[in-house]
Chain A
């Protein structure tokens, strides 16, 4: 009953265009070399939003990797002389009740977010995709069983199921990671199954079968490459949502135990007090902003990738066109007035 139809369909949102029947294009076809296509792909990533996304994600990864070197302070070192300091030059994002530098903590927090996001998504892919391909390749009761299980998992609101699983495993980063991983398995299973089914219909698979290629070979040689694109996009987007789930779970206290309290969601829940709400706004705002930017970055990147993956003629008016339209409109307005009194012109 549940599917990711919406995520699939604002695929088109970003780069939708009408399609016109334009003259003589067939004769324009040429087979482009692979490199050329890759270059086109890159060139299509050149839209401002995507670039922002790339920058953000790169920043995240950098800050996660370089945190020990670039972070001005130790994220768990207590400094009781500088408690609750507002943002300043020494402490760009201020300090918390223990005098710990929020900026450094956020930098380190990137490690946790990235770890959980990437590991959980990769894990989900590693489990989900084989399942999906299997159920597509071996249709029949295997297919039914797998897909029913997926349905059942999808019958829970994801965060709720994640809560339950994390509860069972016991609080901690690993628990949260596993929870998110498990929850996002069905998505990939479905995607893989869908695309694999589409591919299997193709004649070249028939051909491969005909020449007696082994199932594995067919899967690896023919099916996998073809479902790679949608998977990549979905993964990128999912890392974002994984970060969100992580934040939610650790806000509920299922996240990292101390001393790894520099997880973003946990920073918010730890600092969430009347004092913080009324006085120490920075303790709540900056970790939240970190989450927002992180997720935003992944989303932008994902959307950009998707656009680049299945290119369509995107509407972009060149300068001349814009100018032209403007004076066309002007002309028309002017002439509408005039042709009101213009005598009817008879042509024969």
Chain B
């Protein structure tokens, strides 16, 4: 355990340059936006010249670049990501993102649940019944899943399960809000306030989006688990297990699964990034007021600061997720010495 903590701390330290780099990249992007930054810092409408002066002072645009970068860093570390210019002019971007984030989190949670609960068993089964009909169906399905655009799947789901066979609500609007708003994640709040209607509503409203979003990662995880499962099944210790007289199931679920899940962990971690990226599209299709839709809206309205802040935010979240996964991996695999 002690070693584990040391490992975590080491990873955290290793993370610092990456995070700084990410910020630098965002900063550079921010500054290579065509046109005079004041034009968007000031918001729409014309500004009197003295106001422009003031803004340039405020944002330190007269400073040399690297000083500006440090200003930027300082702001970000104080949780100040600047102000939106056209989505909610003048609004603090941090507020915007933080209000939107829980919905993205909820969506991502549902999708990852689907990804794990369906992907892993599917992979295991199709590896177990290799070259059987099940296996082939799974493989082709996974292939198609890998090649499907998220937003298109979303639309198709809307057409089928919203219009043709109206089972699920078509969009997010109208979801029942929990009495207690502790986390902003409705499922959890629903449980906290024992409001069953909220729980159910949350599940129903997130069903289609999370399926649409999860499909891609689901397929990738399935393929991954299948392959690593097959790989493991070829290992010697599986033969040993059989030679011990383990039943087929015991061999697969006790000996093979654990080993084959180790590499899968990494992939699942990577997929969280995929989910965050896909959320941008899914939330747009299903009108979920999450970070993704915020970014889309910002793109349509050319709200550069908001887009960049959103990108930075998601990147940071992604980094953290990966860190967690790595630590988990290190924890699960006894061979890794931390």
Q: Which residue numbers of A lie inside 8 Å of B, CB to CB?
A: 1-3, 5-6, 9-14, 16-19, 49, 148-149, 151-153, 155-161, 163-165, 167-168, 170, 240, 244, 247-248, 251-254, 265, 268-269, 272, 277-278, 281, 284-285, 288, 291-296, 299-300, 303, 315
Please, how many angstroms separate the alpha-carbon atoms of A294 and B152 in the complex? 14
Please, how many angstroms separate the alpha-carbon atoms of A19 and B228 in the complex? 15
Q: List the B residue with the shortest CB-CB distance to A248.
A: B281
- What residues of A have a CB within 8 angstroms of the CB of B146 in the complex? 295, 299
B131 at the interface (CB under 8 A from A): yes
Q: At the interface, is chain A mostly helix, strand, loop or mixed?
A: helix
Known: A152-B25, A155-B315, A295-B147. A252 touches B224 (CB 8 A): no
- What residues of A have a CB within 8 angstroms of the CB of B32 in the complex? 168
Say yes or no: B152 contacts A158, CB within 8 Å. Answer: no
Please, how many angstroms separate the alpha-carbon atoms of A17 and B230 in the complex? 8
Closest CB in chain B relative to A174 CB, distance in Å: 14
Select which of B21, B144, B319 is within 8 A of A148 by beta carbon. B21
How many residues of B sit at the interface, in one of the four size bands?
A: 35 or more
- What residues of A have a CB within 8 angstroms of the CB of B227 in the complex? 9-14, 16
Q: List the B residue with the shortest CB-CB distance to A171.
A: B299
Known: A1-B18, A284-B155. A277 touches B319 (CB 8 A): no
Say yes or no: A156 contacts B230, CB within 8 Å. Answer: no
Known: A13-B230, A160-B314, A163-B280. A277 touches B155 (CB 8 A): yes
Known: A1-B18, A6-B270, A9-B224. A163 touches B299 (CB 8 A): yes
B328 at the interface (CB under 8 A from A): no
Please, how many angstroms separate the alpha-carbon atoms of A308 and B24 in the complex? 42
Please, how many angstroms separate the alpha-carbon atoms of A272 and B154 in the complex? 11
Select which of B29, B156, B234, B304 is within 8 A of A165 by beta carbon. B29
Select which of A6, A152, A160 is within 8 A of B311 by beta carbon. A160
Select which of B18, B231, B285, B299 is within 8 A of A152 by beta carbon. B18
Closest CB in chain A relative to B258 CB, distance in Å: 17
Select which of A49, A149, A164, A265 is within 8 A of B149 by beta carbon. A265
Q: Supply 26 A–B pairs (Cβ within 8 Å), ascending by A.
A: A5-B266, A6-B224, A10-B223, A10-B226, A16-B231, A18-B234, A148-B17, A148-B18, A148-B21, A152-B25, A155-B315, A155-B319, A156-B22, A157-B274, A160-B315, A164-B308, A168-B32, A168-B34, A170-B34, A247-B149, A251-B149, A252-B300, A288-B155, A291-B149, A292-B148, A296-B144
- What residues of A have a CB within 8 angstroms of the CB of B29 in the complex? 164-165, 167-168
Say yes or no: B163 contacts A277, CB within 8 Å. Answer: yes
Say yes or no: B22 contacts A164, CB within 8 Å. Answer: no
B186 at the interface (CB under 8 A from A): no
Say yes or no: B277 contacts A251, CB within 8 Å. Answer: no
Q: A13-B223, A252-B296 are in contact. List 9 more A-B contacts (CB 8 A).
A: A6-B266, A6-B270, A159-B280, A159-B281, A163-B299, A248-B149, A251-B149, A288-B156, A292-B144
Q: Which residue numbers of B lie inside 8 Å of A, CB to CB?
A: 17-18, 21-22, 24-26, 29, 32-34, 130-131, 143-144, 146-152, 155-156, 158-159, 162-163, 220, 223-224, 226-228, 230-231, 233-234, 263, 266-267, 270, 273-274, 276-278, 280-281, 284-285, 295-296, 299-300, 304, 307-308, 311, 314-315, 318-319, 322-323, 326
Select which of B228, B263, B277 is within 8 A of A158 by beta carbon. B277
Please, how many angstroms separate the alpha-carbon atoms of A222 and B230 in the complex? 33
Please, how many angstroms separate the alpha-carbon atoms of A284 and B277 in the complex? 22
Say yes or no: B159 contacts A153, CB within 8 Å. Answer: no
Say yes or no: A2 contacts B322, CB within 8 Å. Answer: yes
Q: List the A residue with the shortest CB-CB distance to B20.
A: A152
Say yes or no: A248 contacts B150, CB within 8 Å. Answer: yes
- What residues of A have a CB within 8 angstroms of the CB of B315 in the complex? 155-157, 160-161
Q: List the A residue with the shortest CB-CB distance to B228.
A: A9
- What residues of A have a CB within 8 angstroms of the CB of B150 in the complex? 248
Closest CB in chain B relative to A233 CB, distance in Å: 15
Known: A9-B263, A16-B231, A164-B26. A268 touches B155 (CB 8 A): yes
- What residues of A have a CB within 8 angstroms of the CB of B223 in the complex? 6, 10, 13
Say yes or no: B156 contacts A252, CB within 8 Å. Answer: no
Say yes or no: A155 contacts B158, CB within 8 Å. Answer: no
Say yes or no: B25 contacts A153, CB within 8 Å. Answer: yes
Q: List the A residue with the shortest CB-CB distance to B162.
A: A277
Please, how many angstroms separate the alpha-carbon atoms of A180 and B102 in the complex? 29
Say yes or no: A244 contacts B233, CB within 8 Å. Answer: no
Say yes or no: B280 contacts A168, CB within 8 Å. Answer: no
- What residues of A have a CB within 8 angstroms of the CB of B148 in the complex? 291-292, 295
Please, how many angstroms separate the alpha-carbon atoms of A284 and B151 in the complex? 11
Please, how many angstroms separate the alpha-carbon atoms of A277 and B156 in the complex? 8
Please, how many angstroms separate the alpha-carbon atoms of A234 and B284 in the complex? 30
Say yes or no: A288 contacts B22, CB within 8 Å. Answer: no
Closest CB in chain A relative to B42 CB, distance in Å: 19
- The residue in A2, A6, A291 that gathers the most chain B C-beta atoms within 10 A of its C-beta is A6
Closest CB in chain A relative to B15 CB, distance in Å: 8
Say yes or no: A151 contacts B131, CB within 8 Å. Answer: no
- What residues of B have a CB within 8 angstroms of the CB of A3 in the complex? 266
Closest CB in chain B relative to A192 CB, distance in Å: 20
- The residue in B146, B263, B285, B304 that gathers the most chain A C-beta atoms within 10 A of its C-beta is B146
Say yes or no: A278 contacts B147, CB within 8 Å. Answer: no
Please, how many angstroms separate the alpha-carbon atoms of A265 and B29 in the complex? 25
Please, how many angstroms separate the alpha-carbon atoms of A278 and B230 in the complex? 44
Please, how many angstroms separate the alpha-carbon atoms of A9 and B261 in the complex? 13
- What residues of B have a CB within 8 angstroms of the CB of A240 in the complex? 147
